[in-house]
């Protein structure tokens, strides 16, 4: 990200919106917005390799489920936040990963310009690639401010997406949804 260019562009945006960029409340806004974007997009170009490479041997063949992993991301269609929770379930094939590492993986992919469908899929894909479980299922429930603050303005409406990769039997999927209720 070119911070100076973003600062300049936000100033131009405010002007185009008809605002007086010299007034007190707005003077520092371009800089603040640039710094906010630097943080919101800090996952750009990163991978979760460092988080998912430290694994532990485990002969637990059953499912591991971590839920209520909160996240916030930025919708690439409106540059507005969407936020909610992830649940990640996987069936290990000899190795497991520290639980905080799944949350770190969510962080890497959510701190980018995203759509919820792709975000969900990328997390499933990364876990499949780095951890090589028998199967993985990622469920995301999110509220989109571009939907709740504008457009149809349905406050509190949630969007659910999920992605399943590898061998994750139907019976296990039902188990995950039951555990999420």
Quick note: the x/- pattern for Zn ion over 119-148, rule CB under 5 A, is ---------------------------x--
For residue 47 the two structure tokens come to 């991978």
- Of 114, 116, 126, 140, the catalytic one is 116
In whole angstroms, how far apart are CA 75 and each of 72, 88, 108, 113?
Answer: 10, 21, 15, 6
| Token pair of 166 as six digits | 């590898």
Which of these is catalytic: 51, 107, 126, 144? 144
Assess contact for 88 and 63: CB atoms under 8 A. no
Q: Is 77 a catalytic residue?
A: yes
Q: Does 77 bind Zn ion (CB under 5 A)?
A: yes
Q: Tokens at residue 125, please?
A: 């894909």
Of 19, 66, 78, 125, the active-site residue reads 78
Q: How many CB atoms lie within 10 A of CB 127?
A: 27
Tell me how far, at minimum, the Cβ of 145 lies from Zn ion, in Å: 8
Nearest-approach distance from CB 70 to Zn ion, in angstroms: 19
Tell me whether residue 9 or residue 146 sits nearer to Zn ion (CB atom).
146
Output the six-digit token pair for 85: 């929770």
Q: Which residues are catalytic?
A: 75-78, 116, 144, 146
- Report the interface residues with Zn ion, using CB under 5 A: 75, 77-78, 146
């Amino acid at each position: 990200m070119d911070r100076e260019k973003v600062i300049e562009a936000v100033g131009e945006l405010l002007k185009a919106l008809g605002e007086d960029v010299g007034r007190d409340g707005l003077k520092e806004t371009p800089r603040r917005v640039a710094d906010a974007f630097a943080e919101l997009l800090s996952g750009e170009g990163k991978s979760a390799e460092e988080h998912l490479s430290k694994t532990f041997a485990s002969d637990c063949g059953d499912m591991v489920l971590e839920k209520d992993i909160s996240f916030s991301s930025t919708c690439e269609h409106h540059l507005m936040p969407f936020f909610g929770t992830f649940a990640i379930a996987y069936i290990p094939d000899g190795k497991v990963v520290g639980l905080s590492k799944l949350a770190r993986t969510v962080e890497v992919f959510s701190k980018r310009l995203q759509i919820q469908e792709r975000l969900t899929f990328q997390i499933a894909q990364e876990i499949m690639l780095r951890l090589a479980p028998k199967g993985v299922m990622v469920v995301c429930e999110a509220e989109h401010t571009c939907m709740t603050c504008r457009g149809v303005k349905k406050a509190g409406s949630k969007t659910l997406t999920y992605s399943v990769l590898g061998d994750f039997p139907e019976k296990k999927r039902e188990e995950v949804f039951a555990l999420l209720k």
